[in-house]
Amino acid sequence: MGKFNIRFLPYDKSVEIDAETTLLKASINAGAHINAPCGGKGTCGKCLVRVKEGDYDTRFTPQLSEENKGKGFLLGCETRPRGDMVVEVPIESQIRPGEKIATGAKKEELHRMFMELAGEVRPRTKKICLKLAPPSIDDHVADLERLKRELSAAGFNTDHFYCGLPVLRTLGKILREEGWDVTVTLYQSGTALEMLDIESKEMCGIRYGAAVDIGTTSVVVYLVNLITGEIIDTAASYNAQARCGDDVISRIVYATEMDGLDELQRLVVDNINHLLTGIAKKHSIDINLIDKMIVAGNTTMTHLFYGINPESIRLEPYVPAVSLFPVIRAINLGINIQDTAPLYSFPNVASYVGGDIVAGVLTSRIYTKEETYLFIDVGTNGEVVLGNRDWMMTCACSAGPCFEGSGIKFGMRAMEGAIEKVDINPVTFEVNCGIIGNVKPIGICGSGMIDALAEMYLTGVIDQKGKFRDGLDTHRIRRGENGMEYVLAWRVESGIDKEITLTEVDIDNLIRAKGAIYAGFTTLLGEVGMTFNDIAKLYIAGGFGRYIDVERAITIGMLPDMPLDKFEFLGNTSVTGAYLVLLSDKLREEAEEIAKKMTYLELSVCRPFMDEYMSALFLPHTNIDSFPSVKRLLNEVGNVKL
Amino acid sequence: MGKFNIRFLPYDKSVEIDAETTLLKASINAGAHINAPCGGKGTCGKCLVRVKEGDYDTRFTPQLSEENKGKGFLLGCETRPRGDMVVEVPIESQIRPGEKIATGAKKEELHRMFMELAGEVRPRTKKICLKLAPPSIDDHVADLERLKRELSAAGFNTDHFYCGLPVLRTLGKILREEGWDVTVTLYQSGTALEMLDIESKEMCGIRYGAAVDIGTTSVVVYLVNLITGEIIDTAASYNAQARCGDDVISRIVYATEMDGLDELQRLVVDNINHLLTGIAKKHSIDINLIDKMIVAGNTTMTHLFYGINPESIRLEPYVPAVSLFPVIRAINLGINIQDTAPLYSFPNVASYVGGDIVAGVLTSRIYTKEETYLFIDVGTNGEVVLGNRDWMMTCACSAGPCFEGSGIKFGMRAMEGAIEKVDINPVTFEVNCGIIGNVKPIGICGSGMIDALAEMYLTGVIDQKGKFRDGLDTHRIRRGENGMEYVLAWRVESGIDKEITLTEVDIDNLIRAKGAIYAGFTTLLGEVGMTFNDIAKLYIAGGFGRYIDVERAITIGMLPDMPLDKFEFLGNTSVTGAYLVLLSDKLREEAEEIAKKMTYLELSVCRPFMDEYMSALFLPHTNIDSFPSVKRLLNEVGNVKL
């Protein structure tokens, strides 16, 4: 079949594709990033492109708005070449750098936290100095057995000793070159003892580890000094898998129905390698000195990382392939660190409560508390944990990625050009927007959405059901292509030559998302016969969690109406947990205990959840009395009669 | 650098080489086999070639006899091309097929032997049928944990359960495709339990294993039904490494000083793969159903097979890198069987007493006997074991490979054209030779050498020191290029257009070899204050062992002068031991006990051995009284006055 050359602007990246390949797929291959939340299934209508030159074949679907069609935009996932092409990716379809992904708390703070918790750095792998008696005619024990003998003398149980081929092959050389005075890296698990590496004596005080959080949206990496426990540096990027779908379900579909498992696996591995190589280089550290890696991610992310088919996660009865991943060598997944470095992943609890939540619970310490706590990780999903040192329950609310921009017409991530603050005048209904980077707006991010929803509700622009009220005297509210909408920025104000709006469909999506989260809280409480009054604290974790304005989130009924001092932000607890376990075998055992201890509630088949959810599909809630502070606010503004 | 094309006759195989590459090396690359016992070091003078066309550069060394020089022969290891060439490999330099390598006892006999010993087939890996409860919303345990749960229910300890990436990746698919009714292959070691494979229910009764003997000279493979224990078929070939040197020392030199470790590793792996594929195909067995392999070999062979540098084996204090090899996956060495199949090697005792001897002791059962036994493996080396159920001593005699043809002017292996029987008329000193295949002789093999030596001694052709007697009336004894020699075949009788002789140098080498073996016996006995009278039996193992005429070997003083019924041939005990351990975890543990139990005596620094050896450098021995039967024979012939 003939091949056509496709050049993408403004990236100026080219790729050869055949006539059956879509421009979206071509852009992935070319490394020219096009935002495609649905992963190319043709359902999100976001992968806009404009053909500058060349012949093509395209299909117009309802997902391509009349306005975008009028501007000459096509959908990348529906367009195929019929010759060489030059294709422009408009600003609103670009995946733009610029967002500062939260890498967690301050490095020093975390180190201090670890030291308080564990007291000492004692990872499951250790490096020890070993001085062997050189062989002689009278003592002709083989090299490996000589080493085992010395390990026994040093107090190690060598009954189940193992040493892999790469180490075996260098053993004799290194022992002799180093004059029988060496450093060995050991991995101890139960009675099993493995020698992972043998090096010169000098290397005893030098070793590094990596803690990794694989989020659906972003990947965060810590490079850690495994001797002192200090964090040398952190790095983060978007999860490159995002181009294959925004949420876990799209990724599973991409992996299974679109045969993309290998591609997804490679993408995230490249991601991690790239981040690690970057910081290692910056600190002049040989990446081969990284001899341990701990990963925390949700169940789907972990399966994809291991290259394990995640299909059963998505299908009833929602069973993952693996909960506790066996320790394997990182190199077997393509991670470019030391050849024998073990890779440990936090165990999953269920299909939709993964190792990231176990890491979160470990970080939050709620499993050690006498009082009862709530924990929520607000990421692409919303996982909730309720419990104390005696018991823990957990569920996943499937809030969906709309707070990250998906499913919202002008939704985007919190990067330059995103509306993050919304202030509506209760009299004129005019709006004042705060924009990240103080540039012309090109969309709205999660915190902007919560703000907008709260403001529109408090000022009476929308009613309790999220519908626009009739008869308000403002041209901001109008009937658009997708029904009623509120104009946040006029065309002249916007950075994309289009009006930026929030539609009734968007509002509906947001209410369903916030309703799911709130219903998650109340369902778990209901299961154990508790109320929010019984909760000592509600911990908010997750990258997006940091940007939530708690008062605004209470206003829309996403968070419960508790005193503000009962809320605490923990940041990225997934990577923090990975960091803790990297340094301490004891905390690793605690993590496995946590996973075993948590009782999982599958909400999709939970009758009480359905009821709680239906009740939460209002602003702030069907039962306004459970939100007294919102009631007060409504009274203060006075636009809405309760 | 320019490349030249070299074509080898009669193989008609070609290869491109540069001007720095020798014809010997070229022949290896071309797959045109040239016999080179010394591995190309230029010391054996056996890699004769004749240039038919083309320019070259060569060096004449004392190793190239005047006769061979006169015939236009050159040494392949000393000749390099200066243009394209056509090169003939003469018959005496070819490695010819035809020898029947002993693959051990009869298949049915071995199976019976195993059943008598172990009672039941119970290998360390097992296949079991497992029926899992399908997951439901109420029982949403992950696939792997579900399987572990079922294993626990079946009585397995899953506290230290492991499952590698390839199995993890197929787990969910197979469980669902097979309706949660599957076969799993388990490997149990201590408290560790690994799942090696998961298959359909139907596979529970189908599994195969391979037992392999890696000898310095030959490689033998058994394909075994792991359910019934029956041997399906056996196959054998020369060890392809032979082209890189005949004995372990040459191979070590080739591996280390000539950077040939990878090549040697690949050669033997290809060997094994080729043999296994051949018999698997013959019996229509999928090679991927072979899920276990046991290997027995001497210390050097095992190191080379694992790709581990064997250098320290050769250098004082003669310490191997490994005695007990960790169990690894066969695929990691390039063995083409089932991906996760474990590979176990018999442990070594010392640098020159390897796993093949441990396998031999296991087969011989001397470690279970009340009386004391001697065991010798006559292969390329000569390893001796003395002991009983309470203790065992062992040593290696470095007999060298001369019985396999190396270091003997017309020495060759026991293949077509080899003189295997020698009968000298005590009056005329004329000779009558028996030749393998009844063709014209091209050389002399080990049993022929022993025969020749015995006959020459008994008829008085040579004296007790192996020197030709003066004044015998025969033109068979003459001064040749390398000193005195005896003509075994005249030029017209021979198949190589040359006279075939046994020289004084050859005889010297043979006496040193037989002396080393005998001194091995007497040194071990001396260590424990015993004599041959204390020995219940002397077991002879090894491929060459089968062809030894015990009386003749006693005549030359290679074997002790004991009643003939005290000698027993065990055949290839290395592969037999591998077969036994393949089927029985219990016997495997016994093998490891044997290795631990054996006390190794390093003869190269053993003063008593030196004395014993010096005394044994006579025919049959300095002390003729220790060989009464030989004394009788001499008297019967009457040619030699004692």
Asked whether residue A507 falls in the same domain as residue A623, the answer is yes
Q: Phi and psi (nearest 5°) for B69?
A: -60, -45
For residue A136, pLDDT over 80 is answered with: yes
Contacts of B312 in chain A (CB under 8 A): 143, 172, 176
Structural domain contains residue B237 = yes
What is the least distance, in Å, from the CA of B585 to any CA of chain A? 16
For residue A1, pLDDT over 70 is answered with: no
Tell me the residue type at A130: L
Boundary (domain end) residue, out of A53, A76, A93: A93
**E strands within A397-519?**
418-424, 431-435, 443-444, 477-480, 483-489, 500-503
State the average pLDDT over residues B387-400.
Answer: 93
Residue A169 has its nearest CB partner, among B140, B145, B308, at B308
Which residue is listed with tokens 């071995």? Answer: B110
Task: Count CA atoms within 13 Å of residue B35 on its CB side.
Answer: 23
Asked whether residue B280 falls in the same domain as residue B344, the answer is yes
Q: Which of A148, A159, A165, A302 should one mutate to test binding to chain B, selecting the residue with the greatest count of B CBs within 10 A? A: A165
C-alpha span between B210 and A15 (Å, rounded): 49
String of DSSP letters for B196-220: EEEEEGGGGG--EEEEEEE-SSEEE
pLDDT in tens, A176-207: 999 999 999 999 888 889 999 999 999 998 99
Contact B172 A308 (CB under 8 A): yes
Q: Which of B163, B165, B327, B345 should one mutate to test binding to chain A, selecting the residue with the greatest count of A CBs within 10 A? A: B165
Contacts of B307 in chain A (CB under 8 A): 165, 169
C-alpha span between A60 and A111 (Å, rounded): 55
Contact B169 A307 (CB under 8 A): yes
Indicate the range of B175-189, B199-213, B540-554 predicted with least confidence: B540-554
- Sign, CA dihedral B383-B387-B388-B392, equals negative
Percent of chain B with pLDDT over 90: 75
Contact A322 B145 (CB under 8 A): yes
Contact B168 A144 (CB under 8 A): no
C-alpha span between B417 and B437 (Å, rounded): 6
Indicate the range of A91-95, A125-129, A394-398, A432-436 predicted with least confidence: A91-95
Could you tell me the CA-to-CA distances from A634 to A556, A565, A627 in Å, in that order?
A: 12, 22, 11
pLDDT in tens, A66-80: 888 888 999 999 999
Structural domain contains residue B550 = no
Closest CA relative to residue B222, chosen from B111, B96, B302, B127: B111
Domain span including residue A158: 121-205
Q: How confident is the model at residue A542 (pLDDT cuts 50, 70, 90)?
A: confident
Asked whether residue B234 falls in the same domain as residue B339, the answer is yes
What is the least distance, in Å, from the CA of B580 to any CA of chain A? 23
Could you tell me the CA-to-CA distances from A187 to A127, A199, A331 in Å, in that order?
A: 9, 15, 16
Rounded to 10°, the helix A355-364/A585-597 angle is 110
Indicate the range of A59-73, A322-336, B200-214 predicted with least confidence: A59-73
Asked whether residue B201 falls in the same domain as residue B224, the answer is no
Asked whether residue B418 falls in the same domain as residue B455, the answer is yes
pLDDT value of residue A99: 52
What is the least distance, in Å, from the CA of A379 to any CA of chain B? 23
Percent of chain A with pLDDT over 90: 75
- Cβ neighbors of A125 (< 8 A, separation 6 or more) are A185, A186, A187, A188, A196, A226, A291, A292, A342
Q: How confident is the model at residue A638 (pLDDT cuts 50, 70, 90)?
A: confident
Contact A140 B351 (CB under 8 A): yes
Boundary (domain end) residue, out of B483, B510, B537: B510
Give the number of domains in chain A: 4
CA angle B227, B230, B231 (to 5 degrees): 125
pLDDT value of residue B104: 62
Buried b (16+ CB within 10 A) or exposed e, B25-34: bbbbebebbb
For residue B270, pLDDT over 90 is answered with: yes
Assign residue B253 the CATH number of its domain: 3.30.420.480
Structural domain contains residue A635 = yes
Tell me the residue type at B14: S
Copy the structure tokens of residue B459. 């008829």
Q: Are strands B3-9 and B85-88 parallel, antiparallel or unpaired?
A: parallel
The interface pTM score, or ipTM, of the predicted complex is 0.86
pLDDT value of residue A407: 86
Contact B322 A160 (CB under 8 A): no
How many pairs of residues across A and B have Cβ atoms under 8 Å apart?
A: 148
CA angle A78, A80, A82 (to 5 degrees): 150
Indicate the range of B131-140, B449-458, B545-554 predicted with least confidence: B545-554
Q: How confident is the model at residue B401 (pLDDT cuts 50, 70, 90)?
A: confident
Assign residue B190 the CATH number of its domain: 3.10.20.880
Contact A140 B190 (CB under 8 A): no
CA angle B265, B268, B274 (to 5 degrees): 135
For residue B242, pLDDT over 90 is answered with: no
For residue A7, pLDDT over 80 is answered with: yes
Radius of gyration of chain B (CA): 27
User: Is cis: bond before A97, omega within 30 of 0?
Assistant: no
Asked whether residue B186 falls in the same domain as residue B236, the answer is no
Structural domain contains residue B529 = no
Structural domain contains residue A307 = yes
Residue B579 burial class via C-beta count within 10 angstroms: exposed 0-12, middle 13-18, buried 19 and up? buried
C-alpha span between A359 and A361 (Å, rounded): 6
Residue A207 burial class via C-beta count within 10 angstroms: exposed 0-12, middle 13-18, buried 19 and up? buried
SS3 content of chain A, % helix, strand, coil (to 5): 35, 25, 35
Contact B189 A143 (CB under 8 A): no
Which residue is listed with tokens 């290997």? Answer: B295
C-alpha span between B360 and B569 (Å, rounded): 12
SS3 content of chain B, % helix, strand, coil (to 5): 35, 25, 35
List the beta bridge partners of residue A211. Answer: A222, A294
Indicate the range of A546-555, A613-622, B174-183, B306-315 predicted with least confidence: A546-555
For residue A294, pLDDT over 60 is answered with: yes
pLDDT value of residue B36: 77
Structural domain contains residue B611 = no
Asked whether residue A86 falls in the same domain as residue A135, the answer is no
Contacts of A322 in chain B (CB under 8 A): 142-145, 168, 171
String of DSSP letters for B95-132: --S-------S-HHHHHHHHHHHHSS-B-SEEEEEEEP
Contacts of A146 in chain B (CB under 8 A): 319
Q: Which of B259, B303, B308, B352 should one mutate to test binding to chain A, selecting the residue with the greatest count of A CBs within 10 A? A: B308
**E strands within A263-378?**
290-297, 328-329, 342-345, 372-378
Residue A140 has its nearest CB partner, among B172, B189, B318, at B318
Structural domain contains residue B479 = yes
Are B354 and B303 within 8 A, CB to CB?
A: no
What is the least distance, in Å, from the CA of B605 to any CA of chain A? 8
Asked whether residue A415 falls in the same domain as residue A486, the answer is yes
Contact B319 A164 (CB under 8 A): no
pLDDT value of residue B103: 62
What is the least distance, in Å, from the CA of A323 to any CA of chain B? 6
Of the ranges A626-630, B35-39, B63-67, the best mean pLDDT one: A626-630
Which residue is listed with tokens 């030709």? Answer: B468
Indicate the range of A541-555, B408-422, B566-580 predicted with least confidence: A541-555
Average pLDDT of chain A to the nearest whole number = 92
Q: How confident is the model at residue A419 (pLDDT cuts 50, 70, 90)?
A: very high
Asked whether residue A66 falls in the same domain as residue A177, the answer is no
Asked whether residue B141 falls in the same domain as residue B228, the answer is no
pLDDT in tens, B292-345: 999 999 999 999 999 999 999 999 999 999 999 999 999 999 999 999 999 999
Asked whether residue A391 falls in the same domain as residue A538, the answer is yes
What is the least distance, in Å, from the CA of B132 to any CA of chain A? 14
DSSP-derived 3-state class of residue B632: helix
C-alpha span between A383 and A379 (Å, rounded): 8
For residue B60, pLDDT over 80 is answered with: yes
List the beta bridge partners of residue A392. Answer: A387, A598
C-alpha span between B130 and B365 (Å, rounded): 37
What is the least distance, in Å, from the CA of B500 to any CA of chain A? 43
Contacts of A311 in chain B (CB under 8 A): 172
Contacts of A159 in chain B (CB under 8 A): 190
Boundary (domain end) residue, out of A205, A237, A260: A205
Assign residue B72 the CATH number of its domain: 3.10.20.30
Contact A142 B322 (CB under 8 A): yes
Copy the structure tokens of residue B48. 């004769």
C-alpha span between A29 and A42 (Å, rounded): 18
pLDDT in tens, B229-239: 999 999 998 89
Asked whether residue A553 falls in the same domain as residue A404, the answer is yes
DSSP-derived 3-state class of residue B568: strand
Closest CA relative to residue A398, chosen from A606, A248, A508: A248
Q: Are strands B535-541 and B372-378 parallel, antiparallel or unpaired?
A: parallel
pLDDT value of residue A400: 75
For B120, other C-beta atoms within 10 Å of its C-beta total 10
Contact B322 A140 (CB under 8 A): no
Contact B143 A190 (CB under 8 A): no
Structural domain contains residue A98 = no
Are A254 and A245 within 8 A, CB to CB?
A: yes
What is the least distance, in Å, from the CA of A604 to any CA of chain B? 10
State the average pLDDT over residues A72-91.
Answer: 92
- Sign, CA dihedral A377-A381-A382-A387, equals negative
Residue A321 has its nearest CB partner, among B160, B172, B602, at B172
